[in-house]
């Protein structure tokens, strides 16, 4: 039998239970609402990001072109077993012409053993009157036929106007007018951390896109923007865009060594480079006039016996360094204000400088230090280095030419 007091206690318990249930339900509803709000916010961010990149890609498609090349050959250094120029009067036992070494030790090699394959690549319209700028990647083989497919579908023959073999750019020309041109990102607005969208028109002709950020600026002696957007032969020559649809630069393979193909083996590695727009504009006028840019040389060999420092071994005659007054045995201590303590630093100071550029070289001759300005030369403008004589004839018998033992009473 339940007393009145028991009924009262039961009523209080039920009220407390339902009150707790109501509070829990309200909290659950609030959490669900908050989750939906967060999800909606995330959807808005996601939709905003997609729209951001889509707008940039749509803008890029207005001036991005597809380039096809036909013909040409692999660079000689990339074909193992291929004989160089030979003397027809000098034949071996197999009656095959013996190879003749190039007497000029200064050669512009490709910079990579990467074998070039036929396939489309990308470029962008640089000017409304038909100039197209792209990467040198597909032009190392010197193709005989080049065609450009414009965004409006027209496919036109193109001529190679000029090449920059240092910054890895090639300028083409098609017979067309009133073409759409890109907007370029101002130099001061290119900053690490901003979005970067690489656009290509290689495979299939549709836009091939990869997204990343600008990793660094001022790379490769100030000639490149670094990005983690994936770059490959598909989008070499294409634009690296910012989120506003402006062009940050032209995608090219690069590495810290000379050669038009240097860095090609690192494609899709998460480290890519683009020549910034301001650098493109600096050289575009010269390219339009048909001027080619080549690797710059000092014209010397390094004394291999010196491990700490860079001492001049030989100098070609003629060569820029010889003309500036340097001598064999001089130590190179700085170039353009950067200390040179070993051969690797010498290469890093020069590998992105074209022939015609002037470098400031600091030399040490004995206890005397002096400075000279040197105009870098193209390899074909250099003389040859004298052959280095072997201290002995490696083909002679071991006892031939040996010094006889001293006679009795004589000292060594």
- In whole angstroms, give the CA distance from residue 238 to residue 135: 8
- The boundaries of the domain holding residue 373 are 300-381
pLDDT digits (tens, 9 = 90+) for 217-235: 999 999 999 999 999 888 9
Give domain status of residue 52, yes or no. Answer: no
Region 167-174 average pLDDT: 96
Exposed / middle / buried, residue 55 (Cβ in 10 Å: 0-12, 13-18, 19+): middle
For residues 308 and 342, the answer to whether their CB atoms sit within 8 Å is: yes
Choice among 56-70, 201-215, 224-238, 330-344 with the minimum mean pLDDT: 201-215
Alpha carbon separation from 357 to 319, 350, 392 (Å, rounded): 14, 10, 41
Answer left, alpha or beta for residue 42, where phi above 0 means left and psi between -120 and 50 means alpha: alpha
Residue 187's pLDDT band (cuts 50, 70, 90)? very high
pLDDT digits (tens, 9 = 90+) for 312-333: 999 999 999 999 999 999 999 9
The listed range with the strongest mean pLDDT (7-11, 181-185, 408-412) is: 181-185
Same domain, 191 and 118: yes
Same domain, 305 and 277: no
Provide the 8-state DSSP code for 401. T
Residue 298: both structure tokens together: 């000092």
Residue 385's pLDDT band (cuts 50, 70, 90)? confident
What is the pLDDT at residue 402? 46
Q: How many domains does the chain have?
A: 2
Same domain, 273 and 377: no
Residue 223: both structure tokens together: 């000639």
**CATH number for the domain that contains residue 320:** 2.30.42.10
Element (H, E) at 372: strand 368-375
Residue 232: both structure tokens together: 């490959």
Same domain, 257 and 314: no
- In whole angstroms, give the CA distance from residue 187 to residue 181: 18
Give domain status of residue 400, yes or no. Answer: no
Choice among 73-77, 125-129, 198-202 with the minimum mean pLDDT: 73-77
What is the pLDDT at residue 270? 82
Sequence-distant (6+) residues with CB within 8 A of 348 are 256
Last residue of a domain, one of 235, 266, 293: 293
Give domain status of residue 249, yes or no. Answer: yes
Same domain, 253 and 318: no
Owner of token pair 């939906």: 36
Sequence-distant (6+) residues with CB within 8 A of 146 are 67, 68, 69, 70, 139, 157, 158, 159, 160, 172
Residue 155: both structure tokens together: 């496919």
């Amino acid at each position: 039998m339940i007393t009145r007091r028991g009924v009262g206690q039961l009523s209080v318990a039920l009220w407390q239970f339902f009150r707790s249930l109501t509070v829990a339900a309200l909290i659950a509803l609030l959490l669900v609402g908050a989750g939906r709000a967060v999800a909606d916010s995330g959807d808005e961010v996601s939709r905003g990001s997609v729209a951001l990149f889509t707008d940039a890609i749509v803008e890029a498609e207005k001036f991005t072109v597809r380039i096809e090349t036909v013909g040409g050959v692999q660079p000689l250094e990339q074909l193992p077993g291929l004989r160089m120029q030979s003397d027809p009067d000098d034949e071996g036992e197999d009656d095959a012409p013996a190879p003749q070494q190039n007497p000029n030790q200064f050669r512009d090699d490709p910079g990579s053993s990467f074998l070039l394959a036929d396939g489309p690549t990308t470029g962008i319209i640089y000017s409304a009157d038909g100039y197209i700028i792209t990467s040198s990647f597909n032009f190392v083989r010197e193709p005989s036929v080049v065609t450009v497919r414009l965004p409006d579908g027209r496919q036109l023959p193109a001529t190679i106007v000029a090449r920059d073999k240092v910054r890895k750019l090639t300028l083409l020309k098609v017979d067309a007018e009133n073409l759409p041109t890109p907007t370029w990102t101002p130099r001061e607005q290119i900053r690490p951390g901003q979005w970067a969208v690489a656009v290509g028109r290689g495979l299939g002709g549709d836009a091939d896109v990869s997204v990343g950020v600008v990793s660094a600026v001022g790379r490769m002696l100030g000639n490149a923007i670094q990005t983690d957007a994936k770059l490959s032969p598909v989008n070499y020559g294409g634009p690296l865009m910012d989120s506003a649809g402006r062009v940050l630069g032209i995608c090219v393979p690069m590495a810290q060594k000379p050669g038009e193909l240097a860095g090609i083996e690192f494609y899709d590695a998460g480290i890519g480079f683009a020549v910034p727009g301001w650098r493109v504009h600096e050289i575009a006028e010269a390219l339009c006039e048909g001027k080619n840019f080549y690797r710059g040389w000092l014209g010397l060999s390094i004394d291999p016996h010196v491990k700490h420092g860079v001492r001049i071994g030989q100098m070609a005659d003629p060569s820029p360094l010889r003309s500036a007054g340097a001598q064999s045995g001089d130590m190179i201590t700085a170039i353009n204000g950067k200390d040179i303590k070993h051969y690797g630093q010498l290469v890093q100071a020069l590998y992105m400088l074209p022939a015609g550029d002037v470098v400031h070289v600091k030399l040490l001759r004995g206890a005397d230090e002096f400075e000279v300005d040197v105009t870098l030369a193209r390899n074909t403008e250099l003389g040859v280095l004298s052959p280095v004589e072997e201290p002995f004839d490696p083909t002679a018998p071991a006892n031939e030419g040996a010094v006889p033992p001293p006679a009795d009473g004589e000292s060594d």
